[in-house]
Amino acid sequence: MSDPNERLSKLAATFRDLEAYVQQEKVRVIHFGVGAIGAEVVRALLNNPEFEIVGAIDASAAKAGKDLGDAAGIGHTLGIPVAYDPESLLKDTYADVVVHCTGSSLTEVYPQLMSIVAAEKSIISSCEELAFPWVRFPEISQKLDRRAKETGVRVLGTGVNPGFVMDMLPMMMATASQQVKSVRIERILDVTTRRIQLQRKAGVGLSVSGFQQAATAGAVGHVGLRESALMIADSFGWRMDDVSETLEPVIARERRKNEYFAVEKGYVLGLRQAARGLVSGQEAVRLDLEMSLGANDPHDLVEINGSPPIRAVIQGGIQGDAATAAIIVNCLPAIARSRLTGLLSMRELPAIPYFRPRSQQREEE
């Protein structure tokens, strides 16, 4: 048997840690997944004194055991080792929110999400299918929602798309319109200088037949258009007949080259993908996405057919990785401090999620 005084000493230390955790003003964050997006979030958090990184997890043997600063390519160490096994770290580390960036498929990341919720920690995830999962994944949604409410935490899927450009942005803009009949969003990205993973997802460098095979296998194409269309329709109270998606290659008319690929004429520069939602046989939601090398006139466009009609163009478009990291970081305070519990979407968050009323701000501010 261990010494009773030793046990009391350890217990007292635990309560001191807990008291410090409850009284702290900073939002304590664990990173689950230190890939391209996860690393971008790490960099964004380091520039914000409101947050404290208290742990990190990654299933990659190449990153597990490394310092988080090295694993995320920060340029210096942070004194935070990257754990391989999430269970003990999630159980033993006091934290408000877990930033989860491991995959796009909800069915694949569901066990990870449930383990985080079981450890009584809230989640912000970049999983695209988690942005609005109730229609396509009703059973998983119900289980996540129920368990999160039992443990008193919140679960949110978000990012630049889905999560903002092709759903929340047009819905917020529609606040200035009535009798909305349809919504159209167009997003055109030039992926020439973007990370290689995104270029591969766009099918850059493939033959046409290779693109078609990869599309059938789910290896190319953007995940999340359907979630955005469903969120928009649900927000307007539209009962859609169907949501259909199309995916086709953008073919090179001349040779193009960038850091990663040399694309010959007749090969694939990228993709065009669209989601179309019908209400009573009429098109109510249209989402058009192009991601390709040298895409002409990159931009984000929102058109709302209402009274008054609204049309807005963001020239150059919103940069995806940096914006996704910014959205996650800006939503952290709302997720950490919200009185809501359960599975949420961006609709349930305040319109300005990073805003803190003056009564909550530090006296020196």
Assigned domain for 57 exists = yes
Token pair for residue 5? 């005084």
Assigned domain for 209 exists = yes
Q: Which residue has the tokens 């359960």?
A: 342
Domain count, the chain: 2
Q: Are 186 and 202 within one domain? A: yes
Query: What pLDDT is stored for residue 1 in this prediction?
Result: 46
Query: What pLDDT is stored for residue 350 in this prediction?
Result: 87
Q: Are 297 and 349 within one domain? A: no
Assigned domain for 365 exists = no
Q: Which residue has the tokens 């329709």?
A: 233
Query: What pLDDT is stored for residue 364 in this prediction?
Result: 46
Query: What pLDDT is stored for residue 20 in this prediction?
Result: 46
| Domain limits for position 65 | 4-159+322-360
User: Which residues in the chain land under pLDDT 50?
Assistant: 1, 15-16, 18-23, 361-365
Query: What pLDDT is stored for residue 7 in this prediction?
Result: 59
Tell which residue, 296, 317, 344, has the closest CA to residue 125: 344
Q: Are 336 and 238 within one domain? A: no
Q: Are 244 and 265 within one domain? A: yes
Assigned domain for 240 exists = yes
Query: What pLDDT is stored for residue 55 in this prediction?
Result: 97
Query: What pLDDT is stored for residue 36 in this prediction?
Result: 93
> Distance from first CA to last CA of the chain, Å, rounded?
51
Check if the beta carbon of residue 89 is closer than 8 Å to that of residue 57.
yes
Q: Are 173 and 313 within one domain? A: yes
Residue 311: give its domain's CATH number.
3.30.360
Assigned domain for 154 exists = yes
Assigned domain for 302 exists = yes
**What's the sign of the alpha-carbon dihedral 175, 176, 179, 185?**
negative
Report the C-alpha gap between 269 and 291 in whole angstroms.
8
Tell which residue, 61, 58, 120, 125, has the closest CA to residue 93: 120
- pTM for the model stands at 0.88
Q: What is the pLDDT of residues 202-213, one digit of tens each?
A: 999 999 999 999
